[in-house]
Amino acid sequence: MIEVYKNLFVGSENDYFNIQNQDNWSVIHACKNFHNQILGVKGMQRIPPSNPERNFAIRNNKLSLNLIDGDDYKGLQQIYRDEINLIMNKAIDFINENIKTNKILVHCNQGVSRSPTIALLYLKKYTNALDNLPLKDAILEFKKLYPFYNPKNGMIEYVESQLLN
């Protein structure tokens, strides 16, 4: 777990297990398996589109995201369609709403793609930490803050779609 900005930490699910019973933490579970557990979804069962918590669910100080990692953004779009924007924006806004009063841990399974991508997008939207750098330079600067950042193509293409528009 690494602090990439004041009160904003990025890590893996192991990092979550290390802080889960501590006070003053808000958590973003950026992985489908945690989301499914929170909703009581078993195995390969799918969350129906009619479920209002299909994309994300909030329980106390925890936001769980129905977010998978993909090798290409088009593949993610086929699965999520417009939902991925809703999911990612909810995560970024959740950080912004809670960072002044709590430490925030954004985690995914391994802490290399989804969770750092969310942190990167938060820094670009709400801070001057990346100084309005072009995307490639912003990623290089972010890797100085979080050296484990190694996004799959789907995540990096999503970032490109957001920052180049």
Min mean pLDDT across 29-43, 51-65, 92-106 is at 29-43
CATH number of the domain encompassing residue 31: 3.90.190.10
Close Cβ partners of 151 (under 8 Å, ≥ 6 residues apart)? 112, 113, 116, 117, 159
- Band the pLDDT of 26: cuts 50, 70, 90: very high
What pLDDT score was predicted for residue 130?
86
Buried b (16+ CB within 10 A) or exposed e, 85-99: eebbebbbebbeebb
- Segment 48-55 shows an average pLDDT of 88
Q: Which one has a higher pLDDT value, 135 or 11?
A: 11
- Band the pLDDT of 78: cuts 50, 70, 90: low
Q: Which one has a higher pLDDT value, 156 or 148?
A: 148
What pLDDT score was predicted for residue 115?
97
Which residue range is the domain that position 55 belongs to?
2-163
- How many distinct structural domains can be found in the chain? 1
What pLDDT score was predicted for residue 99?
97
Q: What is the per-residue pLDDT across 83-132, written as a single tens digit (0 to 9) for each?
A: 888 899 999 999 999 999 999 999 999 999 999 999 999 999 999 998 77
The per-residue pLDDT of the chain, averaged, comes to: 89
